[in-house]
Chain A
Amino acid sequence: MNFLTLLLRRLVGIVAVMAGVSVITFAISHLVPADPVAAALGDHATDAQIAAFRAEYGLDKPVVDQYFIYVNGLLRGDLGKSIRTRRPVAADLRDFFPATLELSLAALLVSVLVGIPAGAWSAIARNRLPDHFVRVFSLTGGSLPIFWLGLILIGFFYGRLGWLPGGGRIDRFIEPPLSITGLYVLDSLLTSNIPALQSSLQHLILPAFTLGYFSTAVIARMMRSSMLEVMRQDYMLTARAKGLRLNAAVIKHGLRNALIPTLTIIGVTFGSLLSGAVLTETIFSWPGLGRYATASAISLDFPAVMGVTLLAAVIYPVANLLVDLGYHWLDPRIQHG
């Protein structure tokens, strides 16, 4: 199957998923026995204000009508207006998504750069000291609560040593780079803004490590086991028999094959990084989508919750698509069916 067909099939899939997600999320948010207007206007609002607010947001109409109004807007690219922030949801997503994307990509980079070599090393040195070290590291990563790790890292690297900044995306006395992609590191590279680049990278280190530790651990474990599997294959024995040293054989012939199952995990992990960023974002005052989603859910702001859910419904299939393309690159024999 060629690339174009694959892309088309995936696109149809995304639309179907979005339709399903929109119905389910809409239904759930309207079945909740609480009133989003009370949440938005608080304790003191008068009945007249509440009625006006309901009319403004169309909440006075039957649920089915509300759904069709919503879908109608959606087809025109209008995600509705957030009840909590009183802004178009699309504008909110545009503000908050790049921050989360940047953090997740950085965390993914950390986990891939650390996890894959660590896993491979662990497999090569099976049952020896490096292997034990990596396994303990992975076990810890898999079991440490993120908020605890984040607070400890801040307390130590920022509070005690003062080596790294404590929170936020960039130093408060440095202007953020001109927004092109919304990713500060990328934008400051594109605009050759060195102070912004340095500051935004410094601000990324602790949150990226905090968020990435768990996935690093998962990737390292996956890489270890798939590498062990690959090392038992005949072609590896052949390579060794032809006189290649273990490390050379692993790097030349083993790594690529062992990466295939690991890539699947990376794809899944990326999705969970995006959605799992809530705690990291809170601890590091990171103005991202995770916190936006949580705050919206707490105040029953269903247009915002719908917007975030639909965005997630797009991201997961896209991540999967990239993984599929990655398979093909790693092993051209793999056919997409």
Chain B
Amino acid sequence: MSKPKYSTWMMIVSLALVIMTACGPAATPTAAPQPTSAPPATSAPEATTAPTEVSPTVAPTEAPSGAANTLVFDSNIDDLITLDPAVAYEFSGVLVVHNVYENLVQFVGADLSNLQPSLAESWEVNEAGDNWEVTFHLRDDVKFASGNPLTADDVVYSFQRVISLNKSPAFLFTDIAQIKTDSIKAADPKTVVVTMPKTASPQAFLSILTFTVGGIVDSKEVQAHVSGDDFGSGWLLDHSAGSGPYAVDHWQRDVEVLLKANPNYGGAQPPLSAVLVKHVPESANQQTELETGDADIAQNLSPEQIAAVKGKEGVATTTGNSLLLFYVGMNVAVKPLDNVKVREALRTAVDYDGIINDLLSGNAKKVQNVIPAGLLGFNPDTPFQQEIEKAKALLKEAGQENGFTVEMLVPTGAGPGGVAWADLAAKLQSDWAQIGVTVDIKQVAQAELLGSYRAQKGQLVMILWGPDFPDPDANVGPFTDINAHSIAFRNSWDDPIAEQARAAALITDPTERAAAYEAITDYVLHNGPYVILYQPTQLFGLRSNVQGFAWNPMGYADFWTISK
């Protein structure tokens, strides 16, 4: 009977261990209370925020850095697949990459209309026959995190890499800017010339370069890690080779990404020496971590949770803009949606204010044109609000006074802004029922919905769109041009307005360009196959000592401006 005794002992010992540790003090130095008054942004945070009350039983030995110097950003980063700027095209990837790499040009903070210098101290656009020549003059003091100096060769390598890898964001270079690998040349170590055909928009290209796909990688460092023909993307998946304020320390899948300040960064060192983007999929836990002070910023709180944390000690809330548009596409290949009056009637019967105020608790902007607020050419006019009699009259003119039945595809789950797609669909269903239009809601997983939508198999399709780069062409092109094989195509809408849209993309004078877009979007508003519902607002919970946080509508924040 010796065996059972041995295992009994093992059990007792294990049990004792469990109980002992359960009763011991929590070893989390992060449970330290946060100071109620914010330290000045410029002061060294270490001294002012050192935890005084709780002396941690465990010294953070190989700790990334102290809690006071680390920004903890709670988010659901399920979508993270890579940290390579040439491949990343998901929300979480973009958020991280933006803080690790620098671009030739940039938009600062939440502003998306004033292009600013970054790695390029100046640039010019010249005509050269059938081409545009965009010339960038690089700063000469820039070093990568590795210590290597940044030269024109790095820029050429970075852009060629995007095109050769041909991953998700590559079409921004190849299709929108219409450049090839031999379009990018280093004229001298500090000058880069990009040649693009006159059919592409230099303004759109410059906007694209502010986005993560335009991040400049350290070509020497990356080439040292190339495996086969992968251009180092296997290594850049979870390493970084940039010149930005932070560098990737590690990415533990489904757990966290830790960024540490880049000692070779050319600008001022960021106030917080580390950023922990922590994967917290359950928003209730983001809320608790925010309230206890374990998280500094929580990204995925619902409107109800934001209301619940408001006014709690040490917690503040803020909003950020997005460039997303929630809309319903109307496939004009389906009768009677081919009739422009029917489409106008559907637009006229929607209770937009009710959706925004009741369903979204006001966390959205009423936008009815295909360019969202925040981009050049945005038209704030909102001519539509529910007018049942007018909508009925329009249906009668279209010969549909008895109404009709139509199917609407709706994604499952909740869209950004926290409202369940099904609730939104039910609201539209009841609005349209008032003018005799019966909507059969068919709710399917978004992947399945996109399959049908792409194949022009939808009738009504409820979905959202966000521009790929901060330029009106990123919306107007897909929404008007059937040849772009995007939104207009999915709704079978072939309209000559596409030509005007293509022309507007090439206008270089901003005022002239904005005027052109105003005319185009107004035409699409009344003739196009879309009911634009709203532009959602992003909600954030943050500790009240967090300063300098500004959400960029393109889906990232500059971590290096944040202090606490």
A113-B11, A166-B288, A198-B21 known; A38+B26 contact, CB < 8 A: no
A201 neighbours in B (Cβ, 8 Å): 17-18, 21
**B319 located at the interface, meaning its Cβ lies under 8 Å from any Cβ of chain A in the complex:** no
- Report yes or no: B279 in contact with A285, Cβ–Cβ below 8 A: yes
- Report yes or no: B58 in contact with A198, Cβ–Cβ below 8 A: yes
B482 neighbours in A (Cβ, 8 Å): none
CB distance from A110 to the nearest CB of B (A): 8
CB distance from B90 to the nearest CB of A (A): 8
- Report yes or no: B61 in contact with A175, Cβ–Cβ below 8 A: yes
Instruction: Return the CB mask of B257-282 against A: 1 if under 8 Å, else 0.
Output: 00000000000000000001011111
A292-B254, A300-B447 known; A174+B26 contact, CB < 8 A: no
**B399 located at the interface, meaning its Cβ lies under 8 Å from any Cβ of chain A in the complex:** no
- Report yes or no: B63 in contact with A295, Cβ–Cβ below 8 A: no
**B148 located at the interface, meaning its Cβ lies under 8 Å from any Cβ of chain A in the complex:** no
Instruction: Return the CB mask of B269-311 against A: 1 if under 8 Å, else 0.
Output: 0000000101111101100110110100000000000000000
Interchain CB contact (< 8 A) of A45 among B21, B22, B168: B168
Identify the stretch in A65-73, A154-162, A242-250 within 8 Å (CB) of chain B at 4 or more residues: A154-162
B294 neighbours in A (Cβ, 8 Å): 166
Select from chain B the residue with minimum beta-carbon distance to A163. Answer: B26
Instruction: Report how far A39 CA is from B452 CA in the complex, Å.
Output: 12
Instruction: Report how far A171 CA is from B279 CA in the complex, Å.
Output: 13
B446 neighbours in A (Cβ, 8 Å): 39
Select from chain A the residue with minimum beta-carbon distance to B65. Answer: A173
**B540 located at the interface, meaning its Cβ lies under 8 Å from any Cβ of chain A in the complex:** no
A86-B81, A162-B31 known; A35+B15 contact, CB < 8 A: no
- Report yes or no: A174 in contact with B254, Cβ–Cβ below 8 A: no
Chain B residues 431-446 with CB under 8 Å of chain A are 444-446
A158 neighbours in B (Cβ, 8 Å): 288, 292
- Report yes or no: B78 in contact with A295, Cβ–Cβ below 8 A: yes
**A202 located at the interface, meaning its Cβ lies under 8 Å from any Cβ of chain B in the complex:** yes
- Report yes or no: B62 in contact with A175, Cβ–Cβ below 8 A: yes
- Report yes or no: A167 in contact with B280, Cβ–Cβ below 8 A: yes
A109-B14, A159-B288, A174-B58 known; A282+B282 contact, CB < 8 A: yes
A38-B447, A167-B285, A199-B58 known; A49+B17 contact, CB < 8 A: no
A34-B447, A172-B278 known; A165+B254 contact, CB < 8 A: no
Select from chain B the residue with minimum beta-carbon distance to A196. Answer: B58
A175 neighbours in B (Cβ, 8 Å): 61-63
CB distance from A84 to the nearest CB of B (A): 7
B291 neighbours in A (Cβ, 8 Å): 159
**B320 located at the interface, meaning its Cβ lies under 8 Å from any Cβ of chain A in the complex:** no
Interchain CB contact (< 8 A) of B255 among A44, A168, A171: A168
B58 neighbours in A (Cβ, 8 Å): 171, 174, 195, 198-199
A45 neighbours in B (Cβ, 8 Å): 168, 171
Interchain CB contact (< 8 A) of B81 among A85, A168, A202: A85
**A334 located at the interface, meaning its Cβ lies under 8 Å from any Cβ of chain B in the complex:** no
Instruction: Report how far A164 CA is from B23 CA in the complex, Å.
Output: 9
CB distance from B217 to the nearest CB of A (A): 19
- Report yes or no: A166 in contact with B27, Cβ–Cβ below 8 A: no
Instruction: Return the CB mask of A169-184 against B: 1 if under 8 Å, else 0.
Output: 1011111000000000
CB distance from B344 to the nearest CB of A (A): 26
Interchain CB contact (< 8 A) of A285 among B61, B62, B175, B280: B280
Instruction: Report how far A86 CA is from B292 CA in the complex, Å.
Output: 36
**A19 located at the interface, meaning its Cβ lies under 8 Å from any Cβ of chain B in the complex:** no
Select from chain A the residue with minimum beta-carbon distance to B294. Answer: A166
A45-B168, A109-B14 known; A164+B61 contact, CB < 8 A: no
Instruction: Report how far A195 CA is from B256 CA in the complex, Å.
Output: 20
A287-B253, A291-B281 known; A173+B454 contact, CB < 8 A: no
Interchain CB contact (< 8 A) of A202 among B27, B175, B448: B27
Chain A residues 72-129 with CB under 8 Å of chain B are 84-86, 92, 95-96, 109, 113
- Report yes or no: B171 in contact with A49, Cβ–Cβ below 8 A: yes
**A309 located at the interface, meaning its Cβ lies under 8 Å from any Cβ of chain B in the complex:** no
For chain A, give the interface size range: 35 or more
Instruction: Report how far A299 CA is from B78 CA in the complex, Å.
Output: 11
A59 neighbours in B (Cβ, 8 Å): none
Number of interface residues of B (CB under 8 A): 66
CB distance from B138 to the nearest CB of A (A): 30
Interchain CB contact (< 8 A) of A205 among B18, B255, B289, B465: B18
**B335 located at the interface, meaning its Cβ lies under 8 Å from any Cβ of chain A in the complex:** no
- Report yes or no: A154 in contact with B18, Cβ–Cβ below 8 A: no
Chain B residues 230-264 with CB under 8 Å of chain A are 252-256
**B72 located at the interface, meaning its Cβ lies under 8 Å from any Cβ of chain A in the complex:** yes
Instruction: Report how far A104 CA is from B171 CA in the complex, Å.
Output: 45
Instruction: Report how far A192 CA is from B297 CA in the complex, Å.
Output: 35
CB distance from A171 to the nearest CB of B (A): 5
Chain A residues 278-335 with CB under 8 Å of chain B are 282-285, 287, 291-292, 295, 298-300, 329
- Report yes or no: B81 in contact with A84, Cβ–Cβ below 8 A: yes
A44-B486, A198-B58 known; A154+B15 contact, CB < 8 A: no
A109 neighbours in B (Cβ, 8 Å): 14
CB distance from B209 to the nearest CB of A (A): 18
A23 neighbours in B (Cβ, 8 Å): none
CB distance from B42 to the nearest CB of A (A): 25
CB distance from A109 to the nearest CB of B (A): 7
Interchain CB contact (< 8 A) of B451 among A35, A92, A298: A35
A38 neighbours in B (Cβ, 8 Å): 447, 450-451, 454
B451 neighbours in A (Cβ, 8 Å): 33-35, 38
Select from chain B the residue with minimum beta-carbon distance to A297. Answer: B445
**B67 located at the interface, meaning its Cβ lies under 8 Å from any Cβ of chain A in the complex:** yes
B24 neighbours in A (Cβ, 8 Å): 198, 202
A33-B448, A44-B486 known; A165+B28 contact, CB < 8 A: yes
**A136 located at the interface, meaning its Cβ lies under 8 Å from any Cβ of chain B in the complex:** no
- Report yes or no: B30 in contact with A173, Cβ–Cβ below 8 A: yes
A195 neighbours in B (Cβ, 8 Å): 27, 58-59, 61
**A5 located at the interface, meaning its Cβ lies under 8 Å from any Cβ of chain B in the complex:** no
Instruction: Report how far A38 CA is from B411 CA in the complex, Å.
Output: 14
- Report yes or no: B168 in contact with A198, Cβ–Cβ below 8 A: no
- Report yes or no: A96 in contact with B254, Cβ–Cβ below 8 A: yes
CB distance from A156 to the nearest CB of B (A): 10
Instruction: Report how far A49 CA is from B67 CA in the complex, Å.
Output: 43
CB distance from B535 to the nearest CB of A (A): 17
Not counting A113-B11, A113-B15, A171-B28, a sample of 12 additional A-B residue pairs whose C-beta atoms are within 8 angstroms of each other reads: A38-B451, A46-B485, A96-B253, A159-B288, A167-B285, A167-B289, A172-B64, A173-B66, A173-B67, A282-B282, A285-B278, A285-B282
| 6 interchain pairs, CB-CB under 8 A | A43-B463, A46-B171, A166-B294, A172-B72, A282-B282, A300-B447
Residues on B facing A (Cβ under 8 Å): 3, 11, 14-15, 17-18, 21-22, 24, 26-31, 57-64, 66-67, 72, 78, 81-82, 89, 166, 168, 170-171, 175, 252-256, 276, 278-282, 284-285, 288-289, 291-292, 294, 444-448, 450-451, 454, 463, 465, 468, 485-486
6 closest Cβ pairs, A-B complex: A39-B447, A34-B448, A287-B254, A173-B60, A35-B451, A195-B58
